[in-house]
Amino acid sequence: MEFTEVATETLLSPREFDDYTRPGGKPLIVRGWMQGWPAMDAWSFDFFKDTYGDDEVKLGCDAMSGDCDLVTTLADYIDYLTAEEADADLHRHHRRLGAERPFYCTSYQPFLAHPELWDDIALPPFVLDWWPYFDLEFKRSHFPHVQGWILLSPPGAVSRLHVDSHHTITLLAQLRGTKEAYLFAPEDAEAVYHGAVDPADPDHSRFPDLKMATCHRCVMTPGDMLFLPPDWWHHVVTKDHSITVSQNLVNHTNFGLYIRKALNRNLARFLNSLPPDGIGGSDVTAAGASQEVRDA
């Protein structure tokens, strides 16, 4: 397996950003744009416990399996994360399960119930996301119904190698702690055995073709925004107590692929739901969106 570094940028034009994140592009770390986020100062484990501790969260030992090992409150999960001794109720439950990896909360989507959280974060001005401009009918008709995740994780938590759904652009914005990411291009799908390998601890005897893959590896620290083009494989390991914002972005570079996957036979109904004067305040029109679908 060959390793290469991920590009790091601060100031880009929209076109330069698109060249990185469009289908066929490469991963990018953007720095310097989170310093003004209120979240950088306000969001901590204590903040979420004190403000949103009653929220329900689903936990699993395998974050990417979709299985739910238990349902608990955010406050109890944060107690588990931050306990100096492994004596919280969730620690005991974890031991009963015999799990190798700690619980990882990847399902927490608080922005619908607590929209004020959106005020604490922002995309850089050169990043275009159409999602906020889609109307409610569209949002109800396909995945994802609610955008935005807050990922809370302890050291050793792992998000196994996977691809985000619907050809979206992946954003991981690191607020607290450190994570290490192992990234692979879509054309390496066969070499990474469609996500079966662990690139952080590779078993080359079991997966000999892994040596043919190129791993784009990076360490995410607070203030880093990692963007992945559509269909990039990513495996992320939490190195210390971490808070990360995750979003899936849609814009003119991936809209055609996205909407074909999302709506399939409902595509005509979606096109009829577009506002006649375009999507939000951007210069994207319904006709332009239709053309993007045809061109995909």
- Give the pLDDT confidence score for residue 282 in this predicted structure: 42
Q: Name the least confident of 150-159, 174-183, 258-267.
A: 258-267
Segment 86-132, tens digit of pLDDT: 777 888 887 887 777 888 888 899 998 999 999 999 999 999 999 88
Closest CA to 172 of 253, 239, 226: 226
- Give the residue with greater pLDDT, 35 vs 63: 35
What 263-271 contacts at long range (C-beta under 8 Å, 24+ apart), as own/partner pairs, is 263/141, 263/142, 266/141, 266/142, 267/293, 269/141, 270/138, 270/141, 270/142
* Domain span including residue 130: 2-196+206-295
**What is the model's pTM?**
0.88
Grade residue 271 by pLDDT with cuts at 50, 70 and 90: confident
On whether residue 201 sits in a domain, the answer given is no
Q: How far apart, in whole angstroms, are the C-alpha atoms of residue 262 and residue 70?
A: 29
pLDDT above 70 coverage of the chain, percent: 88
At 28, which CATH number?
Answer: 2.60.120.650
Rg of the chain over CA atoms, in angstroms?
A: 20
Grade residue 287 by pLDDT with cuts at 50, 70 and 90: very low
Segment 27-49, tens digit of pLDDT: 999 999 999 999 999 999 999 99
Bridge-based pairing state of the strands 242-249 and 169-176: antiparallel
DSSP reduced 3-state for 224? coil
On whether residue 187 sits in a domain, the answer given is yes
On whether residue 231 sits in a domain, the answer given is yes
Q: Name the least confident of 29-38, 97-106, 263-272, 276-285.
A: 276-285
Q: How far apart, in whole angstroms, are the C-alpha atoms of residue 133 and residue 35?
A: 26
Our count of domains for the chain comes to: 1
Q: How far apart, in whole angstroms, are the C-alpha atoms of residue 160 and residue 16?
A: 30
- Give the pLDDT confidence score for residue 241 in this predicted structure: 96
- Give the pLDDT confidence score for residue 285 in this predicted structure: 41
Average model confidence (pLDDT) across the chain: 88
- Give the pLDDT confidence score for residue 279 in this predicted structure: 47
- Give the pLDDT confidence score for residue 65 in this predicted structure: 64
